[in-house]
């Protein structure tokens, strides 16, 4: 199984709390005006890399992991396998950015399979008219940080509560 990969960015702090490894994939049909990664829209951008090779690169890093793009949900089968391995073998958390809403992901059998392995789903398309530079880890006010496990348990969206204060 392969991922159409744009790049892997190690030691980033912009795609979730703490030091993270971000996996940027190719392919997005949302085509949000004002997107900060329009070079990732073509499904043929980047290169095809096996899930095993992407996992091996992540295993050599520290910190949690973020999937971004493009939109990882367009490659849901491969990203589900990658997320499963990250959580079960490396015991790290995974965040995923998508232009789909949580309800749209739930309604799609293929995309839904990724949810058990995600800590947070940053959902919804970027809307330039709702851009807000003061938001943490998202670009527009319509996007949510969905606490996936709490949402699955509650049966409705529960937003992720992030406390940036250091824990002693």
Check residue 163 and give its pLDDT: 72
CB 63, CB 21: distance < 8 Å:
yes
What's the rounded Cα separation, in Å, for the pair 44 and 79? 17
CATH code of the domain covering residue 54 = 3.20.20.70
CB 86, CB 116: distance < 8 Å:
no
Beta bridge mates, 97 = 122
Residue ranges making up the domain that contains 97: 2-154
CB 21, CB 58: distance < 8 Å:
yes
Check residue 122 and give its pLDDT: 97
The domain tally of the chain equals 1
- Name the pTM for this structure: 0.93
Check residue 99 and give its pLDDT: 96
Beta bridge mates, 123 = 144
Residue 168 lies in a domain: no
Residue 166 lies in a domain: no
Check residue 161 and give its pLDDT: 85
Question: In sequence order, which residues have a C-beta less than 8 Å from that of residue 76 and are 6 or more positions away?
Answer: 108, 110, 111, 113, 114
Residue 80 lies in a domain: yes
User: Which residues of the chain register pLDDT less than 50?
Assistant: none
């Amino acid at each position: 199984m392969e991922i159409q990969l744009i790049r892997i960015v190690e030691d980033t702090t912009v795609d979730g709390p703490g030091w993270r490894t971000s996996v940027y994939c190719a392919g997005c049909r949302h085509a949000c005006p004002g997107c900060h990664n329009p070079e990732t829209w073509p499904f043929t951008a980047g290169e095809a890399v096996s899930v095993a090779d992407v996992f091996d690169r992540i295993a050599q890093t520290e910190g949690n992991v973020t999937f971004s793009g493009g939109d990882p949900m367009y490659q849901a089968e491969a990203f589900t396998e990658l997320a499963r391995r990250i959580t079960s073998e490396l015991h790290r958390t995974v965040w995923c950015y998508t232009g789909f809403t949580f309800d749209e992901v739930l309604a799609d059998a293929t995309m839904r399979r990724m949810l058990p392995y995600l800590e947070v789903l940053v959902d919804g398309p970027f809307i330039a008219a709702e851009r807000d530079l003061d938001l943490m880890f998202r670009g527009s006010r319509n996007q949510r940080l969905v606490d996936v496990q709490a949402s699955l348990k509650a049966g409705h969206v529960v937003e992720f509560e992030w406390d940036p204060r250091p824990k002693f």
